[in-house]
Amino acid sequence: MIYDTIITPNCGGAQCHLKRPTPFGYDFSSKSAASSSWRSDVIAGNGLDSPMFQVLNLGVMPKGKPALSVENLYMVLNWIDAGALDN
């Protein structure tokens, strides 16, 4: 759900994290690549302290695009709080 709803259109679909070399090592070209990429920045069960959420919440990413909507931010937060399952 997170990959298709948020990552693909805002991060990978924007061609940012599909380019080689991938920015900061984040490869969002597939669901499995994305899952491996964000593991170091996701604290499963703790969305507020997860660097991935903080970067999105502060509007640092997606770079050069509008910040994520509040609805999408809550979706990411809830996904991380629920354990950041590979979906």
* Domains identified in the chain, total number: 1
Residue 87 pLDDT greater than 60, yes or no:
no
Residue 86 located in a structural domain: no
pLDDT, position 12: 65
For 13-50, how does the pLDDT look when each residue is reduced to its tens digit (9 = 90+)? 656 777 677 667 778 888 888 888 888 889 999 999 99
Residue 53 located in a structural domain: yes
Question: What phi and psi values does residue 66 have, to the nearest 5 degrees?
Answer: -60, 150
Residue 87 located in a structural domain: no
pTM (predicted TM-score): 0.84
Read out DSSP for 38-74? HGGG--TT-TTT-HHHHHHHTT-SSTTSPPPPHHHHH
CA 60/CA 5 separation, integer angstroms: 19
* Containing structural domain, residue 35: 2-81
Residue 7 located in a structural domain: yes
